[in-house]
Structure 1
Amino acid sequence: MIIRNVRPWGGQASDIDVTDGRIAAVLPHAPSRPDDGTGIDGRGRLAMPSFSDVHCHLDSNRVGLPFRPHTGGSGIWGLVMNDREHWREDPPVAERTTALLGRMIERGTTRVRSYAQIDADSGLERFEGVLAAKEAHKDRADVEIIAFPQAGLLREKGVPELMEEALSSGAAVVGGIDPCTLDRDPVRHLDIVFGLAERHQAPVDIHLHEPGHLGVFSTDLVLERTRALGMQGKVTISHAYELGTVDEATTRRLIEDFAELDVSMATIAPAQQSTALPLAELTRAGVRVGLGEDGQRDFWSPYGNGDMLDRTWQLAFTSRYRPDELIEHCWAVASRGGAAILDPSLQRLTSTADRPGVDVGDAADLILVEGDTVVSAVMDRGADRTVIHAGRVVADQLRLVG
């Protein structure tokens, strides 16, 4: 397939030759180039690496349903219990999850790492809903499922056993959450998480909402286990809103430890972005950083719409970025930054000037989008989009194909 007249990362007009799902050549655009009828007319649009959402909760979304008054309580536990009280009022999880995943693909996301809540209330029902969505869109996107103990591993009986069952039934990642403030036994919590990971040869993803020094304490316990078990490249810490607030020496030390142990970070571009470890410094150190949309219009929050281009704008905005290079870097994080978390064999971003994903040999996971420049595409977030996964068009003009 030839993708004609596109501008990779906003550069010169080019024709991209795709063979067996990968980019075989990037050639100067030639209007006279032969076309066997299988090509795509890029119409001068940008050719960008498609998005990788590495932190979303597909199973909790209410996108497309009528808005309802927000009833969530304060704190993590209050929000968990509010969700538990109401989630069965909506259509089945598989139906909502499949619809949202399709919407995400239509807007340019072709790689997803989604949490699936596993607790004493829902058992494996929510996990099975995400598994159904993955199967429904298996030819349009690559989906990893995290077995996620949203209500903790220790507060209710039987949760570790449910986690084990999910990991034997299609979950690919072991989740953990706030070892100190939720389960209040960080050693036992992390023993279970890393024990499951060792038995199933699975990566780990830890939700960390804990503040300041407490967050650093939990992070150090995770780093300790990563080093002891040789799990470099297999551990992600998500959120970590306040790891940058303790002191400059701690910030520098954590960044160095993350880089040494290849521990990645997933951000949702929160309002507290200024208190997290700084994005540009993480990149310069070679720490893998990816972006995600978190919960979307659910019982936790009314925010979120399935569009990673919107979330890329949010990452630039909350990071207070204005220079073109830094705003373009947000797209790199939202696309290949996350892809390198899902596939540690991919090269890490090491500079805010890195522009990967549209080179010879790369997987042909692309989005063609309107814009004079990459920055204008982030600012305007237009609807003229064509989404390509593994060398095949899977969505066009915000509609699924096939």
Structure 2
Amino acid sequence: MTNTWLITNVRPHAGPRADGCVDVSIAAGRIAAIGPNLPREPGVTVEDGAGALLLPGFVEGHTHLDKTLWGMDWYRNEVGPKLTDRIENERRYRAESGHDAGAQSLALARAFLQAGTTRLRTHVDIDTDAGLRYLDGVLATRDALRDVLDMQIVAFPQSGVLRRPGTDALLARALQAGADVLGALDPALIDGDPVASLNLSFELAQRYDKPIDIHLHEPGELGAFTLGLLLDRVEALGMQGRVVVSHAFCLGALPEPARDALLERLADLRVALLTTAPSSTPVPPLKACLQRGVTLFGGNDGIRDTWTPYGSPDMLERAMLIAMRYGLRRDDDLALAFDCVSSVAAHACGFSEYGLHQGARADLVLVAADTLAHALVARPPRKLVVAHGRIVARDGVCVEDLIEH
């Protein structure tokens, strides 16, 4: 594929020509022009879109590439019901099996690319037993795919920052080694001291000038209390727009007045929420968030690991699950679910130059579907996936020579 080329005869999923066909001119990895009947310059490669639906590359807002067992033999899950059971079971399995975070993260990242994801945020365990071994593996994957996949790495303390001495020093090393974001976990339930835990996390984030993405599983009033403490620090330290709260189950279980007061603060401080839209756990209310200007986006969480047999690198599937969890049925409401794994996710994670417009990076997906809603429900094989202006998958199969280094 040449550096300048043209995709013809595609239908944008939104906009004034949603019902008509356009062409997309790509040059130097960017969208040079988009519109009907673009000129065919001599010598320029032309790819016929054959009337396919044109989508932007998908965004995975929250996954754990380092943990996955993708492509491996089936893992028999007999873990106990508590969060700490899952944490300790995973630590034991990874230590005993020699789980290779580099090879496994590469396998799942390639599967994401094949299904149309071109930007991705992954949490990586920083562990006092394994040190930075898992981070090193995912850093190698990020480097191997750097030309076709934008990957943000969150340095994630899976056991909290206080319970295992030395975790804070390892997190500092991880941020220096290339992690983009500081992670955190349940300051009250896991660390047992939300004030000390949050103080340590925010001090680290400020010292290394990194944003924060915190897992907050804490339920009801306890979660609301922790969330309030977190928002106090965002406000006091001027970290507006630099914090994501993942899961935030408490917001799905609070009385509306208490919930809405927190939503108002979240919107005012530009703190975004990430949901995986689990089927059996309270979730932040999508439409209440939209009404108040709170950014809510989506992700898978773990995919085929010791925690869960579920998950898929297909973000159209995740968008459909988000739509189902929130009871979305109208075509325009299904578009809101797609926003959670595309434009809203890109904004929340800070991925720039995103979208289907002139000057945006050329991250494109073609599918055989009538409409966006149809694409989410049917999830057809990707006819073409373009990342950074290069074809990386065709008819559901990776183009090997473009992502091997």
| Shorter-chain TM band | over 0.9
Cα separation, partners in 2 of 1:116 and 1:340, compared to 1, 3 Å: same
From 374, 377, 382, the counterpart of 2:375: 377
Q: Give the root-mean-square deviation of aligned CA atoms.
A: 1.8
**Cα distance in structure 2, aligned partners of 1:22 and 1:342:** 20
* AA in 2 matched with 1:342: C
* AA in 2 matched with 1:169: A
Match of 1:305 in 2: 312
* AA in 2 matched with 1:318: R
**Cα distance in structure 2, aligned partners of 1:127 and 1:239:** 23
From 143, 161, 166, the counterpart of 1:135: 143
Match of 2:36 in 1: 28
Q: By how many angstroms is 1:20 displaced?
A: 3.1
**Cα distance in structure 1, aligned partners of 2:291 and 2:387:** 29
Q: Deviations over 1:84-114 (max 9, x none)?
A: 1112416511011111101101101111110
1:327 aligns with 2:334: yes
**Cα distance in structure 2, aligned partners of 1:328 and 1:315:** 11
From 322, 337, 342, the counterpart of 2:349: 342
Q: By how many angstroms is 1:34 displaced?
A: 4.8
Match of 1:201 in 2: 209
**5 Å matches for 1:272-311?**
272=280, 275-311=282-318
Match of 1:53 in 2: 60
* AA in 1 matched with 2:10: V
Q: Deviations over 1:158-189 (max 9, x none)?
A: 11010010011001100000000000011111
1:248 aligns with 2:252: no
Q: By how many angstroms is 1:286 displaced?
A: 2.7
- 1:71·1:82 contact (CA, 8 Å) conserved in 2? no
Match of 1:397 in 2: 395
Q: What is the identity percentage for the equivalent residue pairs of Structure 1 and Structure 2?
A: 38
From 219, 235, 239, the counterpart of 1:231: 239
Match of 2:114 in 1: 106
Secondary structure in 1 aligned to 2:51? coil
**Cα distance in structure 1, aligned partners of 2:316 and 2:290:** 20
- 2:61·2:345 contact (CA, 8 Å) conserved in 1? yes
**Cα distance in structure 2, aligned partners of 1:343 and 1:305:** 23
Q: By how many angstroms is 1:33 displaced?
A: 4.3
Match of 1:97 in 2: 105
* AA in 2 matched with 1:28: P
- 1:93·1:126 contact (CA, 8 Å) conserved in 2? yes
Match of 1:189 in 2: 197
* AA in 2 matched with 1:192: L
Secondary structure in 2 aligned to 1:388? strand
* AA in 2 matched with 1:9: H
* AA in 2 matched with 1:310: E
Q: How many residues align?
A: 391
**Cα distance in structure 1, aligned partners of 2:73 and 2:98:** 10
Q: TM-score, normalised to structure 2's length?
A: 0.92
* AA in 2 matched with 1:263: V
**Cα distance in structure 1, aligned partners of 2:346 and 2:45:** 27
* AA in 1 matched with 2:79: G
Q: Deviations over 1:14-50 (max 9, x none)?
A: 11122333323221247x8456342322111111111
* AA in 2 matched with 1:5: N
From 320, 324, 341, the counterpart of 1:317: 324
Identify unmatched segments of 5+ residues in structure 2: none
- 1:19·1:391 contact (CA, 8 Å) conserved in 2? yes
Q: By how many angstroms is 1:388 displaced?
A: 1.5
**Cα distance in structure 2, aligned partners of 1:27 and 1:93:** 43
Identify unmatched segments of 5+ residues in structure 1: 347-355
- 1:107·1:385 contact (CA, 8 Å) conserved in 2? no
* AA in 2 matched with 1:369: V
**Cα distance in structure 2, aligned partners of 1:325 and 1:35:** 41
Match of 1:117 in 2: 125
Q: By how many angstroms is 1:3 displaced?
A: 1.6
Cα separation, partners in 2 of 1:344 and 1:303, compared to 1, 3 Å: closer
Cα separation, partners in 2 of 1:382 and 1:207, compared to 1, 3 Å: same
Match of 1:352 in 2: none
Cα separation, partners in 2 of 1:40 and 1:205, compared to 1, 3 Å: same
